Structure formats: C-alpha cells, structure tokens
Structure 1
C-alpha cells in the first residue's frame, strides 16, 4: 500500500476509506485535484464547476484517502 505522511495526516493512495475521512479526488474534466468528504450528498470541482452527486462519481477519480497520522509511542 502506497502512502505518505504529511504533518498530522497520512495519505493512502489508490484507496477509498471511510466516509468520515477526506479523500483526494481528481476531476476528469479539467484534471484539478481537491479534497472532499464522501459523506456529502454532492460536490463540485472548485476549478471548472463540474458537479456530481456522491452516487455518480464517474466524473472524478479517487486519488487517495486522507487519514489522521497516528504516531506510535515507543518507550
């Protein structure tokens, strides 16, 4: 599984996670990447305005899931 830790976030690529986490989507119409919560009824690309309901995400590609980064504590 590919992932990257950035600050307090962990981005898991090519992965659709829980609706409670933000996801990185790519608009297939203009190529713009943006964050969105998948528990919303609809969303739109902030660059070109491409609008879709969450049930019709064919206009967007899921790049990855953004999860809180949990640092393991070692003594």
Structure 2
C-alpha cells in the first residue's frame, strides 16, 4: 500500500470516528431531554444543562472531524 492510500484509509477511519461521536452526542441529547420529565427532585434537574453542554461539545468535535477529513479525502 502506498503512502497516499494509507493516508486516505487513515482519513476514512477518522471520518467513521466522527460519525460515531456524532451518534453518541445525539443519543446523549435525546436521553437528557427524556430524563427531564422523569426527575422528581429539584437538584436532579440541574444535571440536564451539563449533559446538554457535553453533548453539544461532542457534536461539534464529531462534526468538525467529519467535515474537515471528508474535504481532505475527496479533494481533487
């Protein structure tokens, strides 16, 4: 395998990693929104904001991996 083929395979693996991170972030967002009606204690409602913020950070990291690396792989 040549150097270019190895680099393209590496970038495709990082694109897959970005997709997995985005799926995890969306799952975390959905779960944190569904937890809100089930909480009966007032202190447990404060957990929703950190969960949403961490999901937003994961979403931004995964999205940047997908868009940045896909530009490198499919650049002509």
Same structural fold, with TM-score higher than 0.5 when normalized by the shorter chain: no
Relative to the length of structure 2, the TM-score reads: 0.26
Structure with larger RCO (C-alpha < 8 A, sep 6+): 2
- Greater per-residue helix proportion: 2
- Greater per-residue strand proportion: 1
Q: Which has the larger radius of gyration?
A: 2
